[in-house]
Amino acid sequence: MGGGKETPRQKMIGLMYLVLMAMLAMNVSKEIINAFVTLNNKLESSIEQTENANNTLLSEFGQALQSLKAQGAPPSEVKRVEMHKNTNDSIVEFTRKICNDIVKRNILLLVSAVDPSTTFEEIEGIDMAVIGDDAAAKDKAKKLAEKVTSLGLILDDGHGHEGHAEGHEDPYENPLFHIDDAGYIHIKDLGGYAKKDDYDTPTRILAGPDFEHIAPEGQHFMDNIKDYRNRLCGLIADHPSDTMENGTVYQYKFDTALFSNPEFLISESDRQTFKNEVDSTLAQMVADNKIDPEDKDVIGEIYVRMTIPEKVMNHGLPYPWIFGQFDHAPIVAATAVMTSVRSDVLQVQNIASTHIKSRVKVQSFNFNKIDPLAFSSTSYINQGDSLGLKVMIAAYDSAEAMELKYWEDDTVQYRLPDAQQNKETMKYFKGKAGEEVRLSGGVGDHKLYGLIAVKEKGIKKWKPWKFNYSVGTPTGTVANEEMNVLYMQYDNKIMASGSGYPSTEASCSGCSSFSKKGDGQYIANVKSGKEATITVQGIGSDGSKTQIAQQVFRIKRLPDPTPKIVGVGVEASTVKIGKIKQAKKLLAELKGSPLNIKFTITKFTVSVVKNGEVAEAKCNGERLSGKALGFIKGLKKGQKIYIENVYAKGPKGSPKKIPSMILKVI
């Protein structure tokens, strides 16, 4: 039993531990040992399911790339997706190597219990017998399978040891391990293993003689876990940023030197403290443009999950982590520990691959809305004429301002470089996305030639457009003052009017109510459905009615607001200490929307970490409670304030939960 330079008290405790182990071996060891066998079998089954999920993700990368190429996507987009696919390929290959290294050393442990002269060289590279055309690896795998069989490691106890290779002949058939078609090695059922209660081999091979002399295999096992954690985080983090609006491209790079390993991870407080330290370090890396903000949470989850402490408590004394796992542990328990680590490795690979896959869906343009768009070369025809109608899908970002510059009846200016354009005749418009540009003019045809600003990967570019319109005799118009949408739980303001008739009237099909509020002004309310149609009719002097305008509106739910405190919104990650200490209430804003809707905060919680513990204050309404104000008054630079469980109520309906805020005080 390992103990380093032990005091008399430590020696006594160690002796008592040996006596206890002997008693267990004589009395209840069979039940305990078999429980570890069952646990290991369940872990192996879980591993196979995770491998299947990871293989599905792997195939989705290839399908996405093929689809892009088939659609004729721009070369830059294909190259971007190929980059992320290559990153995932590296993650998959690295994970397979780590998992197989753990299993191969597990095989070394199990075989050495019967034949102590066994070396790792006899096992290294056997996975290449399946995934590569390596004659030496095939020969080595065959010899190892023959050795395992001849040693009688697995007794015939009726458990059965097939299962991994059912359905086809396995050229390396043996009762201990199996190499699947993807090259992953698995440990078979150890129910019949001859040395299940061997305590000495795990101690000798994985723990070592004492705390100051950890066995090389044990040190390798710990180094493997740490190396996988660091390299996986690096594979996720190390990539170029999207191009910023000013043309800057950051090369993100994960820095493991900024982190320190925890001494203990025993209590919930230990784990929360370590998690907070990791979160704080990653937040600073985001602020320093060392990692992508989109990668922060995934990297944090993987880093915390794959971190092992320096020590554990055993018999009331601090033991090196490796001794806590393998010192005088039954060999089947040691196997369960190693299999559990493999399971964790494959699960975090799934987290990483899922995250990388999400990057493949990112578009080259900043879009968050896709709507149908119908248009023609002219907006006016006389009765008896016809027009050519085009219908297409338009995508845009409702949170971005719309920026236009255009010229009336000038076919030259919009084609020229910016410096050569005539700014005196140019008209400029900047407003909310979807906001209307009001046009007028004398009777006759008019043509507009202009440019609209579009962001491609953060870079503003000007795209040309044209529009023809006519000013003429009697027409009717229907327009939504805010957008070409009717929102549920909201009084939609509608302008519906016509000319050329003594009077007009408007009606709505699909509205729950439609009421007139003034000359050409209406309020439309909708409760459900996808579309509503508003029709304007001209009423002649004889009472006859003629349809002069009709417009189909999409029906949508109101967008959710976001919280804002002392002018700082959810897009921010920091707040100045002098500013936050002026906070009195939390507001809700519908940022980037053309709607002028007031949302009211109904409740929220404010949390801070004080002395390693989370302190929380509940607030009703929009004003900060006395307790919350006390938290804010005591904030210091470097601390974080959490505003969560935020509920806001619109003009109608019940309160709904909206996004939270996490701000670092600077």
> Tell me: the pLDDT tens digits for 299-337?
999 999 999 999 999 888 899 999 999 999 999 999 999
Average pLDDT, the chain: 84
pLDDT for residue 10 is more than 70: no
Among 253-262, 373-382, 498-507, 629-638, name the one with the lowest average pLDDT. 373-382
Look at residue 562 and give its three-state secondary structure: strand
> Do 508 and 584 share a domain, yes or no?
no
Query: What tokens does 257 get?
Result: 């030197």
Q: How far apart, in whole angstroms, are the C-alpha atoms of residue 179 and residue 183? A: 6
Q: What is the pLDDT of residue 443?
A: 59
Position 311 in a domain? yes
> Do 209 and 315 share a domain, yes or no?
yes
> Could you tell me the pTM of the whole model?
0.54
> Do 130 and 162 share a domain, yes or no?
yes
pLDDT digits (tens, 9 = 90+) for 623-653: 999 999 999 999 999 999 999 999 999 888 8
Q: How far apart, in whole angstroms, are the C-alpha atoms of residue 196 and residue 36? A: 9
Position 617 in a domain? yes
Domain residues for 493? 474-557
First to last CA, the chain: 51
Q: What ranges in 421-580 are assigned the alpha helix state H?
A: 577-580
pLDDT band for 545, please (50, 70, 90 cuts).
confident
> Do 311 and 400 share a domain, yes or no?
no
Q: What is the pLDDT of residue 438?
A: 75
Average pLDDT over residues 407-422: 85
Cα angle vertex 567, ends 299, 637, to 5°?
Answer: 55
> Do 123 and 172 share a domain, yes or no?
yes
Position 1 in a domain? no
Q: How far apart, in whole angstroms, are the C-alpha atoms of residue 490 and residue 495? A: 16
Q: 491: which residues sit within 8 A by CB, 6+ positions away?
A: 523, 524, 525, 651
Position 36 in a domain? yes
In one-letter notation, the amino acid at residue 526 is V
Query: What tokens does 519 get?
Result: 């000359």
In one-letter notation, the amino acid at residue 495 is M
**Whether the Cβ atoms of residue 425 and residue 409 lie closer than 8 Å to each other:** no
Cβ neighbours, 10 Å, residue 544: 10
> Do 58 and 121 share a domain, yes or no?
yes
Average pLDDT over residues 100-114: 97
> Do 225 and 142 share a domain, yes or no?
yes
Q: How far apart, in whole angstroms, are the C-alpha atoms of residue 369 and residue 399? A: 10
> Do 60 and 179 share a domain, yes or no?
yes
Position 2 in a domain? no
Q: What is the pLDDT of residue 434?
A: 64
> Do 147 and 291 share a domain, yes or no?
yes
> How many structural domains is the chain composed of?
4
> Do 342 and 367 share a domain, yes or no?
no
Out of 6-15, 334-343, 378-387, give the one with best mean pLDDT. Answer: 334-343
> Do 574 and 449 share a domain, yes or no?
no
> Do 183 and 139 share a domain, yes or no?
yes
Q: What is the pLDDT of residue 459?
A: 65
Q: What is the pLDDT of residue 372?
A: 60
Which of the two residues, 552 and 443, has the higher pLDDT score? Answer: 552
Q: How far apart, in whole angstroms, are the C-alpha atoms of residue 156 and residue 44? A: 21
Domain boundary among 309, 325, 360: 360
